[in-house]
Structure 1
């Protein structure tokens, strides 16, 4: 959804709580998995982060079909046309404003989900010693690729915040953006956000106490 900068005025709820919680859970778990990746002593902790990531990704994939307006795949899926128009608008120094994710951000989101899924799947298979030995190589390569994409994503968020004169990081914390009230989502689904936090915490603690062999 695009709007002109001049038409934006008030703090309007755009991101529901489950979307924001899922985002920051992934940030936390990816950071934790990275920090524990080189230590055999912390292997159980590393695996717990990985399985929790899988749970959150599973939720996000489903939420992309049944969630609120701007969380749905159909709202921001980066078609070739959308990406092209957005890039051209940047080159013309008149970047399109998108209420939800912009097309380049959407590309980054899909890449991160794909790389996260690959990293987790190959990590679990390597842990269980299922499949060929080179799965561990794919696990490491996808993890390294993920770090690169995350770096680009963060840089893109900062640049986009400057171009559109809005704090996107803060928006993903508060859920609000400077938009007309007519663009607000109808329900924040706060209860589901709390459920997601408890489910992720429960999954993490369970895996620490009952590690998968």
Structure 2
């Protein structure tokens, strides 16, 4: 039975940041790149705030990847019966946090590159490039994991981030 999980702000920030990341990874590094980078960082910050004050499934308390939640989820994967989570599963939570941190670090390193204090220094550009590569790898892992888990669990995770609805499992294995 479909249940509304992802509110409009979660979906808007997710797809807006995804679009900006794709644009900035493959577009030119001009003023638009900088502006969009700052917009992405602002959206990430707003999503972090929403993690404290937003709807139930958007809140960190619903999906924060604690050590015990992560270990329990990894055990369920190892035995071939992944736990069903209405909100992010613990690995998805780790990925969300990683992506957000990379985007914020990219914004800071991009800003640093334009400061007089770092004029002539290569390391801010090198850091920005390394963070960009790390983000590209994480985005690829994120997309691949969403596809693999959608097939494995027979749940369209990408579709749920578009519609906001996920199926609620009838068994006791459904977790927030």
Count of equivalent residues: 168
1:69–1:126 Cα change, 3 Å:
same
Q: Secondary structure at the match of 1:117?
A: helix
**Which residue among 23, 36, 40 is the counterpart of 2:14?**
23
Which structure has more relative contact order (CA 8 Å, sep 6+)? It is 1
1:130–1:52 Cα change, 3 Å:
farther
**Which residue among 34, 40, 50 is the counterpart of 1:63?**
50
| 1:128 maps to 2:115 | yes
Q: Secondary structure at the match of 1:145?
A: helix
| 1:54 maps to 2:78 | no
Q: Secondary structure at the match of 2:2?
A: strand
| 1:173 maps to 2:165 | no
Match of 2:142 in 1: 153
Name structure 2 gaps, 5 residues minimum.
Answer: none
Question: Please, what is the CA RMSD of the aligned residues?
Answer: 1.6
Shift of 1:57: 0.8
Match of 1:116 in 2: 103
**Whole-Å separation in 1 of the counterparts to 2:117 and 2:109:** 9
Larger radius of gyration: 1
Match of 1:6 in 2: none
1:91–1:21 Cα change, 3 Å:
same
Match of 1:77 in 2: 64
Q: Secondary structure at the match of 1:115?
A: helix
**Whole-Å separation in 1 of the counterparts to 2:118 and 2:63:** 36
**Whole-Å separation in 1 of the counterparts to 2:103 and 2:16:** 13
Match of 2:128 in 1: 139
Name structure 1 gaps, 5 residues minimum.
Answer: 1-9, 184-213
**Whole-Å separation in 2 of the counterparts to 1:82 and 1:174:** 26
| 1:164 maps to 2:137 | no
| 1:44 maps to 2:35 | no
Shift of 1:131: 4.0
Shift of 1:58: 1.2
1:71-100 CA-to-partner distances (Å, cap 9, x unmatched) read: 111111111111111111111111111011
1:174–1:130 Cα change, 3 Å:
farther
